Structures are given as structure tokens and as C-alpha cells.
Chains A and B, each alone.
Chain A
Amino acid sequence: MADSGAGPSGDDIINSYHLPRPLPLWLNSNCAKHIVKGNFMTLSARPKTVEQGEWIAHQVVEHYRNLWNFVQVVHAKEETGNTICNPTTCPRMSAGANHSFTWLNSRREPVELPAHEYMTLMQRWITGKIDDTAIFPTDPAGVSYSHNPAISSTPLSQLTNPGEPDWVGKRSGFPEKFIDICQMIFRQMFRVYAHLYWAHFVEPYYHLNLEKQLNSCFSHFLLTATALDMLGKQELEPMQPLIDLWAANGTFPPESKVYEYASIRAGERLIQLAGVTQ
């Protein structure tokens, strides 16, 4: 890891991100700390007996609840009628100058929306999915379990009728499109986190003493989303430098998938730049 031989230097990689200078505060490792320490992977590891679809459903809901606590802070109306995130502060759903996200309108055309409106629409969309028992079934009677070839006498292939399609969560009553929907939800949640970091890390989270909470929830989100293949490397781009930093400072354990997506050199260089010498 400390090998400084071939390949681009940490600076080269950081420069390739085209980050604004001075660098955003959330890349200062003094501000990238957490309210919990230790291996978060224990929290997102699927229990062996639990069916994969059931576990993904659980993680979607948990992370959604977490994220919306933070959104509420920038969405709450004050007596003045103003919200912290509003069309003046955030005319676009942006994650820095290089990224902005569009919403598909009813004619499925991409439109730019103020972040506040975008997030409101997204909240409505996500809760519409999560509360739909045809997508996220809640009946305890329909629960299945994970297939264990070492224990089960029935081979997995015989659990579905030949010729019939199989999909994750099928035996627990999740629909065929379930995984796609969950991936979309995770992608949308990632966009919200990206906007919160790029536009609101200082205003208001740092000022309100919430940045450690935000860091912990987001790093846990990244560990979970990548471990469950809900987010791929290319989708992480707007937050790549923070991922590098967390991989380098030990937030992400080396055996985690998100660690593989990180550039340790860039992360180490960021730590160096912050003047953390210990």
C-alpha cells in the first residue's frame, strides 16, 4: 500500500477528479470522522439463513430512514417560510460543478429541477415503492429462507419449475423487478447523499454538529450498497475522493468491496494534505 513506485501519484489522481480548490471541507480528514468506529461490515452482512431479497429489502428501508433524517434538516421550513435547501441556494440537483442529476418527467424527458423539488419527488417515489406491499411484501407468512446446499436435500434447481424464470427474492414473494427497483432506490439515495455533501456539508451539517453522523451513515450506506451490488464503481464518481479517503484511513476495511473501488494513494495524499501526521 505504501509502495510509491509505478503508476500515477496521489496528486495525479486527485487532479484527475477536477475538484474545486481549495478542496471541499468534507475531504479534510479532520472532518471525515465518525460517531462509531469498528467494522461496519458486520452490520450489512446478510445472516446466513436469510433470503437475499429479504435482506436487501431490509437494508433499503433502513438506509432510506437514515438518509431522510438528514434531508429533513435541510427541508424543514422555518417560521420565515424558508428552507435551508431552496431553489436559490440549490437551483439544480448537483454534486459539485461537474455533476448534476436530472429527473424524468411524465414524458420521460430528463429535466433539471431545484434540489429541493428533486428530493421531494424522489422521496415520494421511494416511499411509493417501499410502502407497496406488492414490491416490498410485509406478510410474515410469506417469508422464505436462504437455500443452503449443505443442508437442503432439494437442489436449488428443483425449487423452481424448469423453464420458469427465477430471480432474487422470488421465493419470499418479491417481484421480478425487485432488484432493479432496489438498485434505482440506492442510486437515488446516493444522489441525495452526494448533494448533501457537495452543497450542505458546511451549511448546515458542520455548523449543526452533524457531520460525524452524516459520515457514519454515508460510509455505512456505501459499504452496504457495494456489498449488495446495488451500486457499482462508475456510479460512485461524484464521491470518489471521499471513498479514497475512507479507504486510506481505515473506515473501509480492506476486505470490503468499496475498498476495491478506492484509490488508496489519492486517499493517503488527502490525509497528508490535511496535515494529519500521526
Chain B
Amino acid sequence: MDSSRLHLNFDNSRPAANDRAFPTTPSTFPQPVFPGPQSGSMQSQQQQQQPYGAGYPQQGYFPQGQYGQQQYPGQAVTSDYPNAAYPPQAGNDPNTGLAHQFSHQNLGGGAARGGQYAARGPSSGRPRTAGGSGQQASYGNYAPPMPSQGAVSSPEFQPIPERNPDKYGTNANSNQKKCSQLAADFFKDSVKRARERNQRQNELEQKLQDPGQSATRREQLWSTAGRKEGQYLRFLRTKDKPENYNTVKIIGKGAFGEVKLVQKKGDGKVYAMKSLIKTEMFKKDQLAHVRSERDILAESDSPWVVKLYTTFQDAYFLYMLMEFLPGGDLMTMLIKYEIFSEDITRFYIAEIVLAIEAVHKLGFIHRDIKPDNILLDRGGHVKLTDFGLSTGFHRLHDNNYYQQLLQGRSNRPRDRTSVAIDQINLTVSNRSQINDWRRSRRLMAYSTVGTPDYIAPEIFTGHGYTFDCDWWSLGTIMFECLVGWPPFCAEDSHDTYRKIVNWRQTLYFPDDITLGAEAENLIRSMVCNTENRLGRGGAHEIKSHAFFRGVDFDSLRRIRAPFEPRLTSNIDTTYFPTDEIDQTDNATLLKAQAIQNRNGQPPEESPEMSLPFIGYTFKRFDNNFR
């Protein structure tokens, strides 16, 4: 018998025997036996490159890094956006690809990001294997039903039984899901890590081969690389816990948790730690949002997106350790400066365009772009944060929720302190009213409801939405920068919703504020119905608007920002309204209480509390090495 034929059965890649110690060529990496359908679609989406319109004449923007009121002299630069990629085709249909996954996640089956191995999607719609209860998570989904007759039932072996998961209790079945997913995650993560490790090793070897390197330098390169790898391995095998960090200050509070400035014990490194209350996330239907935020931040390496270093959890909380951006947020800045000049507005809006574009390229729709979520780094440049959380943009996919809001009566005063605010009556002269509105604006930001001011109408009219809803939000932010309040602000959320839906009647540019024609045109091109919205075909449509004439988008992040935070230390929280935030550490209190309630016993994790958060833990390689 020809035994070599046996191997065909397993379709195994069997590389030639070579170096036993390091056979780490990517082609031999383990592959999923049955690749998920989503992995294919994701790749094709990412590869989809849309060449942008040819050379738009550019002028240098803020070439000296000086800001003032006058127009800046610029040099002519041409750019044809050679590397821009944007997934508009796939994105325009909210029912395809990642956009679909992002917007319709529910953690019944885990929020699928369609990773190459992750098979977290709900298994409904797939044929069940024999005797299956539809609970076969992970690869079982892709496996053809086990043939139960013919060649398989060899008399030499115990008979293959019909699978019957229902013979076990609910705990066994939830452990099944957990086990299956964790095994899949293990291989997925291990492969990813091994790939990245090899890449780092290759880079190191290239550096070592450089004949110009001195022996000392080569030794140093080697030992540094080895230590970094070793430190990462230690990081991987250590369970992180909040006790490893000292709280410096609470810099943000949301409905589902809080954001603290923390310092790691030991090395003193500074981070922003977001803690989210698991039970609240669970009750308020936030599971999909938690997961999507973790996914996008874990995946992104973009300078426009706040960096996530690690995530961990205990029985009560999910923790996200992120980079601390000392510049505060755009909301705080708008509260401080009230309005921006057109030049400064141009800078921020241009940066936000690039940030939104970066998020879209990752396959995500942010859907909650608002000044609170636009953070400023050490240099005053923009980064996006809050991918679906904390300010409570909840039940986004639940159109009923918005329908109820739209039909409901105004029950003022409810969300905000009662101020008679009607945008149409606002003028520059009654700024005090605006200031009242602003004060309530911050309260709003910390509430469960969140502010609806920047949400595109299609999101809550239930007719579906796609990537361009973020451009609407950008338009409303630009309006606020130049005018001083968002275009649909009202005393009460219900009124805001109604105004947004009736934007044709309610979008109004105050007479006493003169906007440049191009600025007003750009706002009107984004704050409009989705069919006509600029940006629908990609960010390049917005970038080439006349308002941005002279802006060199490629170098924007490298020039000096109009406001650079002045900081006295790496834990300076000047740019956060910490005196307006209750500094009580609720997370720690809640936890202490819970432990007390259990008479000092460590909490046991119930399956329904632990299952939805499986795979939440994440560890980035460069965590320790900023």
C-alpha cells in the first residue's frame, strides 16, 4: 500500500526537514482547517485600493508652524495620495464586511471581528452537525458533519456516537463555548505572535549584517532585542490587575465606568486606565460595543487612534490600559475658547478627516464622532477615542429605542439643566446662555444617554447607515467650531432628535456670524442627506474641497498644532476638568463592597458573566517599550 497517499487526507503542509530549532517560515504557519468565510471577505476589502483623483495642487499649510489670523503663505506642492486606500464600495452597503460586523454585533455568539481564526460569529444559519444544539462555536461550525456511516464505522474502533451535547448541563455547555473559543483564540494569537516575532528577528538580522556596525553595537542590538522579547514573554505570563497601578487622578467619568490617570508601580509609566463595570455593560446591552472598541484599538497602529496597550479583567470590571493624552479633548477646548478662527478650524477639521479616514480604513464606522471623543496628544494633534462606549451611545442598533425617543414627548427638564435654548434665537450677544448650555454639555457627556447633537439622522431613522454618517458628525463639529454651538442643539434630547431628522428646516447659520463661503459650503455638503453627502465616495472628496485649499494632508501631523499643551510633568492633568469630576473612585469602592458582601471570599465568576467577555484580554508587544 502506498502510505504516502495517506497524507493527502490531511492536506498538511510538510516542509522539508531543515533546521529543527527555528523552522519559522510564514508559509508553514498553522492555518485554520476550514477558513471562515469572513476572513476572505476581510482580505479582499483591505486589498481594495481606490486610487484617488490625480494631482490636486496643494499648498503648504502652516509652513512655519505659526498661527495667527492672517492667511498663510504656502508653497505649491502636489500630491496624488499614492497610498490611500479606502473601502467605500464595501462600506456603502452596511450589510457587508466589517461594517456589518461592527454594527450588528451582539455577543450571543461573541462579537466577530472575522479574524483569520476567530470564529466567534453566531452559529445560526449554519447547518447543524448531527445532534448539535447549534452551540458548537468555533471551528466546529466549519466542519462538515461527521459522517456516521460507511468507512468511518470501522469494526476495529468503538462506534462513533451521534453527538449529543444536550446530555450535559448548562454549565458544561457554557464551558464548552468558552473552551472552544479559548482554544481557537490561543492558536490565532500564537500564530500572530510568532509571525511578528519572526519579523522582528529578520529586522534584527538585517541590522546585524550591516558591515558598518561595530562589534559592541551588534552585541547591544542582540541583547536589547532578547530583553524586549523576554520582557514581552513575562508580560504575557503575568496576569495584570488594577492593583499594579497607582491612581493619580480621575480624568473622566462615564455611565459605565471611569477613566483614570494611573502610574504603573515599579516603572512609573503613565497610562490612562478605563474601567468598565461588567454588570452595567451586560444590563445596558453594551457587550458588542466593548468588544468592538477592544478590537479596533487592538488592531490599529494608527497615529490617529488612541493606543491600547493591554486589556484585562476581573470578576467585576473590564480594564483598558491606553496611552494618556495630556492635551485633553476638543470639547474642553471648545468650552474654553467658544469659537475657533477659520484657520484653526481648518487644522482640526483636516486632522479629524484623516483620523476618520484611518478608522474607515480599518473597516470601522465610528458613529460617535463628537468633540468629547477627539483627544489631543502632547503636541496638540488629534486622536480619536471611545469606539462605542462610556458616553453611552447605547443601543445604537436598536432602532426602536430611537423611534421611541422621536415619538416621545419632551420631558424637560431632563437631560440638561433647563435653559431656554433654541439655536435660532442664539446670537453672539447672548453668549451667557451658550455658556449655560456648555456647562450642561459636560454633564451630558458623563450621562448614560450621551449627547445626540452630532449623530447623523439616518442612524436613528432606521433606514440603515454607512461610513458617511461619520462625515455628518464632522460637519456638525465644524459648525460648532465656527459658530459656537452644534447646529441642532436644543434644550432637550428629544428636541435635538427632531431637529436632526428635520435638518432641512432646522439647519440655520446665524446672521451675526460671518462664515467664509467655502466653510459654509463644506458644512452644508456634510450636514445633508446621505445621498448627496460629501465623503460618500471616500475621504478624498472632503480633502479636495475648496475649504482645504493649501492644506498638505500628508504632513499635517508633523507640523506644529495651533494649541500645544503646556505641561509641567508627565502626570499633568491641567487640560482635564478634574475639579468638575467627582474624584471618588467608584470602581474601587464597588469592588471592596462586593468583596465584603461575599465575606472576604474572592468572587466566583458565573458563566454568564465570564462568557461574553472571553477573548477580551489583549497584550500588545510594544507595551513596555515606548
Contacts and interface: CB of A to CB of B under 8 A. Distances in A.
Contacts of B3: 1-2, 248, 264, 268
B39 interface: no
A79 to B, nearest CB: 6
A183 interface: no
A151 interface: yes
9 contacts: A35-B138, A39-B29, A43-B191, A45-B23, A48-B201, A62-B237, A78-B172, A148-B222, A207-B163
A133 to B, nearest CB: 9
Contacts of B178: 69, 72
Return the 6 tightest CB-CB contacts between A and B, nearest first: A145-B226, A78-B169, A49-B226, A250-B12, A38-B30, A275-B151
What does DSSP make chain A's interface, helix, strand, loop or mixed? loop
Interface size band for A: 35 or more
B8 interface: yes
What secondary structure prevails in chain B residues at the interface with A?
Answer: helix
Contact of A145 (B1, B147, B187, B230): B230
Given A50-B230, A143-B234, A151-B218, 7 more contacts: A38-B28, A145-B223, A152-B219, A207-B164, A209-B165, A248-B6, A278-B9
A54 B237 CA distance: 10
A209 B157 contact: no
A54 B234 contact: yes
A122 interface: no
B237 A57 contact: yes
B6 A275 contact: no
B405 interface: no
Interface of B: 1-15, 17-18, 20-25, 28-33, 117, 129, 131-132, 136, 138-140, 143, 146-147, 151-152, 154-161, 163-165, 167-173, 175-176, 178-180, 182-184, 186-187, 190-191, 194, 197, 201, 204, 208, 215-216, 218-219, 222-223, 225-227, 229-231, 233-238, 266-267, 624
B179 A73 contact: yes
A264 B22 CA distance: 24
Nearest to B153: A275
A209 B158 contact: no
Interface in A157-211: 172, 202, 204, 206-210
B158 A24 contact: yes
A25 B170 CA distance: 25
Interface in A67-126: 69-70, 72-73, 76-80, 84
Interface of A: 1-2, 21-25, 27-31, 33-43, 45-51, 54-55, 57-58, 61-62, 65-66, 69-70, 72-73, 76-80, 84, 130, 136-140, 143-146, 148, 151-153, 172, 202, 204, 206-210, 212-213, 216-217, 220, 227, 248-251, 253-257, 264, 268, 271-278
Contact of B30 (A24, A39, A47): A39
Given A84-B168, A204-B172, A69 B30 contact: no
A79 B225 contact: no
Contacts of B163: 206-209
Contact of B33 (A1, A22, A35, A207): A35
